Amino acid sequence: MIRFDSVTKTYPKQNRPALRDVSLEIEKGEFVFLVGSSGSGKSTFLRLILREERTDTGMVHVLGKDLARLSNWKVPQMRRQLGTVFQDFRLLPNKTVAENVAFALEVIGKPRGTIRKTVPEVLDLVGLAGKEDRMPGELSGGEQQRVAIARAFVNRPMLLIADEPTGNLDPQTSVGIMRLLDRINRTGTTVVMATHDQNIVDQMRKRVIELEKGRLVRDQSRGVYGYQH
Amino acid sequence: MRAQFVLSEIGVGLRRNLTMTFAVIISVALSLALAGGSWLASQQVDAMKGYWYDKVQVSIFLCNKADAKSTPSCSKGAVTDEQKKAIKADLEKLPVVETVFYESSQEAYKHYQEQFKDSPVAGSLSPDQLQESYRVKLKDPTKVQVVSSAFAGRPGVQEVQDQRKLLKNLFDLLGGMTAVAFGTMLFMVIVAMLLIINTVRVSAFSRRRETGIMRLVGASGFYIQMPFIAEAAFAGLVGGGVACGMLMTGRYFLIDHGLKLQDKIPLVNFLGWGDVIKVLPLVLVVSMLMPALAALVTLRKYLKV
């Protein structure tokens, strides 16, 4: 599903690489937490998967494709098989809940019939049935993140990338979001989630990958947020 | 591609930038009206030059039957074949002469009809009212005097005409005005381009949230850029429409009504509506392509795809 081979990435005008010689493999259907302090390289790791950035050396394979050899015009096709969720939700404030989800299908040219059918289904899945016509501003943070997850999942991606999806939410709401992501994972979708939330990582007991100053320092199945010293 | 979705996005984008859109429309309209106007002006000059203007410097008109009564130099009657032969032989002997063309009255009639096809005077002449002529191309175009002193007043010659003397000043004036219009047009095009670039930039910035999401969910570059390009092309097309209106109004006002140049100078073959209308599709196409290209180039810089 995802394979990093000795990946190094340095941003322009930076001395220290954001990622240094990272190698790892994530299998289909896995649920992986990506942990590490700010500046440890988590975001760079996710951006490389999305091909927002390219490696300096080393190879990144996503969904069986070598991203270095993927031509620019094929990138959108690749991204259609990924879903992305962010800490700040990134909803369109002037569109309703249903329109926000439908937007993701409209812009990749899906027929209207498909959109009418799948949008209510996925809103039902994330627990927002009955709130289709609300505006994002009228929703709580947790509900907004559910809309974002619905939008990421509506195209049934093979892989869901979540960059601190619970970062703006209270612990109670976060648990609900994690349940939802777990459910999505159980449908067969691989989930890679960057997080700072110790409680969540400790409770879920999934694979944990820890980065520190750009290096892979821990890769532990059924891990916890940090080592117990 | 969902046409309705794209169209609604274009509408939202144009309304959001209403003042900038107006500026784009006006600058595109002005630059294309000037471009179309200067093109039409140069066509007008070409039309007035007629068949011989750019080919020869001197025309030697020969007497025909009608001239015998009206023109003193032709009082001995129409030109004879011997006179014609002698004139041609003498012309070819002159060292300043490069080529001599002969135009029969039938050919003269044909050229006349072509030149004045849009003008009411076209039907008022018959072939035998027009003179046969020798049209002379000189090695040195300034040596017109050599030919006219040798042939003026010779039997069978009605008149020796310096081809350029009559119209040169007028053409110089028209050419100068065309050049000024063209130069102004170049500046207007630059203004239009800068406005389009800025409009697209503002538009891309104000919609960066949408385009960011589009990128993430895998919309193609074309789909992301299309609304911006279509927006620019649409504003340009409106400007092109205004430019077409200005060209039509210009002809209407200058030639038919208002200044009524056609009534004042009936002997000039002014461009017809057909000539103006032929320019309009080109104006419209350019009015769409120019902003679309400017938008495309701008987006490469300001919109990551």
Of chain B, the end-to-end C-alpha distance in Å amounts to: 18
Residue A228 has pLDDT above 60, yes or no: no
Query: CB of B34 within 8 A of CB of B188?
Result: yes
- The confidence score (pLDDT) of residue A209 equals 95
CA distance B274 to B143: 39
With an 8 Å Cβ cutoff, are A90 and B219 in contact? Answer: no
Amino acid at A158: M
Query: Which residues lie below 8 Å from residue B6, measured CB to CB, with a gap of 6+?
Result: B226, B227, B230
- The confidence score (pLDDT) of residue B62 equals 84
Of chain A, the end-to-end C-alpha distance in Å amounts to: 33
User: Closest residue of A to B223, CA-based?
Assistant: A107
pLDDT confidence band for A134 (50 / 70 / 90): very high
Q: Can you name the residues that pair with B60 across neighbouring β-strands?
A: B134, B160
Residue A174 has pLDDT above 90, yes or no: yes
CA dihedral for B45, B51, B53, B59, sign (positive or negative): negative
With an 8 Å Cβ cutoff, are A92 and B5 in contact? Answer: no
- The confidence score (pLDDT) of residue B29 equals 95
CA distance B101 to B55: 10
State the average pLDDT for chain A: 93
Up-side HSE of residue A194: CA atoms within 13 Å toward CB? 21
What tens digit of pLDDT does each residue of A8-48 get?
Answer: 999 998 888 999 999 999 999 999 999 999 889 999 999 99
Q: How far is CA A67 from the centre of its chain?
A: 17
Residue B245: its H or E element: helix B221-251
With an 8 Å Cβ cutoff, are A109 and B217 in contact? Answer: no
Residue B206 has pLDDT above 90, yes or no: no
ipTM confidence: 0.87
For chain A positions 125-154, those within 8 Å of chain B (CB to CB) are 151-152
Tokens of B167: 């119209």
Phi, psi angle pair for A210, to nearest 5°: -115, 130
Packing angle, helices B168-206 and B208-216, rounded to 10? 70
Cα Rg of chain A (Å, integer):
18
pLDDT confidence band for B120 (50 / 70 / 90): low
With an 8 Å Cβ cutoff, are A77 and B223 in contact? Answer: no
Residue A229 has pLDDT above 50, yes or no: no
- The confidence score (pLDDT) of residue B296 equals 92
What tens digit of pLDDT does each residue of A78-87 get?
Answer: 999 999 999 9
Mutation test of the interface with chain B: which of A74, A99, A106, choosing the one with the most B Cβ atoms within 10 A?
A: A106
Query: CB of A103 within 8 A of CB of A91?
Result: no
- What is the pTM for the complete model shown? 0.73
Amino acid at A77: Q
Mutation test of the interface with chain A: which of B6, B7, B216, choosing the one with the most A Cβ atoms within 10 A?
A: B216
Q: Check if A60 contacts B (Cβ < 8 Å).
A: no
Range with lowest mean pLDDT among B33-47, B69-83, B199-213: B69-83
User: Closest residue of A to B219, CA-based?
Assistant: A108
Nearest C-alpha neighbor of B30 from the set B280, B178, B240, B254: B240
If 0-12 CB within 10 Å is exposed, 13-18 middle and 19+ buried, where does residue A21 land?
Answer: middle
Residue B137 has pLDDT above 90, yes or no: no
Hey, is B151 helix, strand or coil?
Answer: helix
- The confidence score (pLDDT) of residue B268 equals 72
Cα Rg of chain B (Å, integer):
29
With an 8 Å Cβ cutoff, are A80 and B214 in contact? Answer: no
User: Closest residue of B to A83, CA-based?
Assistant: B217
Sheet holding A19-26, edge to edge: A19-26, A2-9, A57-62, A65-66
CA distance B272 to B277: 9
Nearest C-alpha neighbor of A147 from the set A93, A208, A215, A193: A93
Q: How far is B304 from chain A, CA to nearest CA, in Å?
A: 10
What tens digit of pLDDT does each residue of B239-264 get?
Answer: 999 999 999 998 888 887 877 777 77
Amino acid at A208: V
**Chain B residues with CB inside 8 Å of A50's CB?**
216
CA distance A48 to A174: 26
**Chain A residues with CB inside 8 Å of B213's CB?**
90, 92, 103-104, 107, 151
- The confidence score (pLDDT) of residue B1 equals 52
pLDDT confidence band for B13 (50 / 70 / 90): confident
CA distance B133 to B105: 8
With an 8 Å Cβ cutoff, are B223 and A82 in contact? Answer: no
Chain A / chain B CB contacts < 8 angstroms: 56
What tens digit of pLDDT does each residue of B68-80 get?
Answer: 777 777 777 788 8
pLDDT confidence band for B28 (50 / 70 / 90): very high
Of A50, A107, A152, the CB nearest to B223: A107
With an 8 Å Cβ cutoff, are A79 and B217 in contact? Answer: yes
